């Protein structure tokens, strides 16, 4: 039975701490053949069971981890091809009533300057983002009474209706506090993309310790937040954990259990999984010295195992990470990254250096969108701003109908080329334009038949001035 009020909430959840700990203990020191059998299953595009995920996490030799990394690369290519979806975060406000020990926004942090964007300032931020070439956003809100479902819906409506030159925002994903079912319905009405809630840590004792007060201190209310979103009709949801609060292997298992729960209850799992590491934040000592700091090698393992465990789920790598590690883990199964990001409230249109005091944490990758796109093109990726599936209704269970037979590559590569061509014609630097057009031509040569004809026709329409061409 599921109870959906904050005052009364079932203590028993689908996160079975003892079971997870037993699985991790009982799968220690797995033999090589067992690991390789699991990899073969994953490369056949089959989801892995919790015991199989635990077994991979416990691989204990450099040789086996290299095989795991190689399998993750191959699986990503099989399902997603060489495209990378791009987005930007937009912080609407940093008021918050929670006191999460690791977060710069926590209510007790007196070093943070509080601000909420006015409608006019929001429009300025959108114009600044669109002027760089962005088409996809994740909007972020603190947890505060002023950020009601009505307020969230209003800001998203403003974003969709703020056009600038040839550009516009075509998909708005949301990272906000868990809502009631009625609250989610209000937000859904404005046509959001993914609703994202990070549990932060799935280890209940740790959760209680780092969330001492505020609505977020209720583990179960947050854990079932996406259940309520699904019940409200939002079938595109994203989960995540903040790595560094507790043992990384346990958190990966928590993400897998959350995925299985959503699949069993609603027939479809999360659209995306995020795996950020704790980064330094103004006035936040625990962020400087995370209790379970994850090193770069273990971070690579997290990404590879998640890719192998849930083949059709998008993996999001954020600009929290430094450039060097972003380059490495991109190859291990990541399908989405943010670029040209700024996380101070109002910081896209206002370059005041003091805006860092309005930030939740400090970014590791501060390159411009064009710099990131140029590097992706150099590495033979297709940078994509595609929103076609979302606006064609290919979301949730319907998306999986297309994804599982391998249609992601078939649909997404043409649409990625269309949005890349838009970017090149409208926003790119000269060097990015030149390499981008070469990459498009190389991708065209891989196509054949009617698909090739349709792609050439669509690209020609864009070159003649048409925008928002979809395959």
Task: Tell me the torsion sign for CA atoms 9, 10, 11, 14.
Answer: negative
Q: Residues 88, 280: contact at Cβ < 8 Å?
A: no
Q: What is the pLDDT of residue 6?
A: 52
Closest CA to 138 of 152, 151, 148: 152
Residues in the chain with pLDDT values less than 50? 1-4, 7, 398
What are the residue ranges spanned by the domains of the chain?
17-76, 81-384, 395-463
- What residues contact residue 304 under an 8 Å CB cut-off, 6+ apart? 68, 69, 71, 72, 332, 333
183 has which bridge partners?
none
- Judge: domain 81-384, CATH 3.20.20.70: yes
Distance CA 266, CA 159 (A): 30
Q: Residues 176, 152: contact at Cβ < 8 Å?
A: yes
Closest CA to 98 of 88, 85, 112, 78: 112
Distance CA 35, CA 23 (A): 15
Closest CA to 112 of 364, 349, 360: 360
Condensed to tens digits (0 to 9), the pLDDT of residues 177-208 reads: 999 999 999 999 999 999 999 999 999 999 99
Q: What is the pLDDT of residue 392?
A: 57
Q: Residues 269, 309: contact at Cβ < 8 Å?
A: no
HSE, side-chain direction, 13 A CA sphere, residue 81: 23
Distance CA 53, CA 15 (A): 15
Q: Residues 129, 305: contact at Cβ < 8 Å?
A: no
Q: What is the pLDDT of residue 1?
A: 38
- Say whether 57 sits in a helix, a strand or coil: helix
| Tokens read off for 379 | 């590495």
Can you spell out the DSSP letters for 206-217?
HHHHH--SSGGG
Please report which helix (H) or strand (E) contains residue 385, including its range: none
User: Torsion angle of alpha carbons 274, 96, 345, 124, nearest 10°?
Assistant: 100
Q: What is the pLDDT of residue 52?
A: 98
């Amino acid at each position: 039975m599921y109870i959906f009020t904050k005052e009364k909430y079932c203590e028993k959840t689908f996160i079975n701490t003892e079971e997870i700990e037993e699985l991790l203990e009982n799968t220690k020191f797995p033999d090589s053949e067992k690991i390789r059998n699991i990899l073969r299953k994953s490369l056949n595009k089959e989801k892995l069971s919790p015991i199989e995920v635990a077994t991979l996490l416990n691989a204990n030799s450099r040789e086996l981890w290299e095989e795991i990394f190689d399998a993750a690369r191959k699986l990503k290519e099989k399902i997603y091809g060489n495209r990378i979806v791009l987005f930007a975060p937009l912080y609407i406000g940093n008021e918050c009533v929670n006191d999460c020990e690791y977060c710069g926004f926590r209510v007790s942090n007196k070093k943070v300057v509080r601000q909420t964007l006015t409608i006019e300032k929001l429009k300025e931020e959108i114009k600044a983002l669109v002027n760089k070439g962005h088409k996809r956003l994740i909007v972020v809100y603190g947890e505060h009474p002023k950020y009601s479902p009505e307020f969230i819906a209003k800001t998203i409506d403003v974003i969709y209706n703020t056009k600038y030159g040839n550009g516009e925002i075509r998909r708005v994903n949301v990272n906000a506090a868990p809502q009631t079912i009625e609250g989610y319905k209000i937000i859904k009405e404005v046509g959001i993309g993914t609703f994202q809630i990070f549990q932060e840590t799935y280890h209940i004792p740790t959760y209680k310790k780092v969330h001492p007060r505020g609505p977020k201190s209720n583990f179960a209310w947050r854990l079932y937040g996406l259940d309520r979103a699904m019940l409200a009709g939002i079938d595109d949801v994203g989960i995540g954990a903040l790595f560094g609060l507790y043992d990384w292997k346990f958190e990966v298992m928590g993400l897998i259990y959350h995925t299985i729960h959503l699949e069993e209850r609603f027939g479809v799992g999360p659209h995306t999984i995020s795996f950020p590491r704790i980064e330094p934040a103004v006035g936040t000592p625990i962020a400087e010295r995370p209790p379970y700091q994850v090193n770069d090698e273990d971070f690579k393992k997290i990404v590879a195992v998640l890719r192998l465990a849930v083949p059709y789920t998008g993996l999001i790598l954020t600009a929290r990470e430094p450039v060097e590690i972003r380059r490495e883990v991109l190859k291990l199964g990541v399908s989405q990254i943010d670029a040209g990001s700024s996380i101070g409230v109002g910081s896209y249109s206002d370059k005041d250096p003091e805006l860092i005091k309005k930030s939740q944490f400090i970014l590791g990758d501060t390159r411009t969108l064009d710099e990131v796109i140029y590097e992706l093109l150099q590495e033979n990726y297709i940078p994509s701003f595609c929103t076609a599936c979302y606006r064609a209704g290919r979301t949730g269970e319907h998306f999986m109908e297309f994804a599982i037979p391998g249609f992601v590559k078939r649909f997404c590569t043409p649409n990625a080329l269309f949005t890349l061509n838009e970017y090149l014609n409208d926003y790119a630097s000269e060097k990015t334009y030149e390499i981008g057009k070469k990459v498009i031509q190389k991708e065209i040569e891989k196509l054949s038949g009617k698909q090739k004809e349709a792609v050439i026709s669509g690209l020609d329409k864009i070159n003649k001035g048409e925008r928002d061409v979809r395959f």
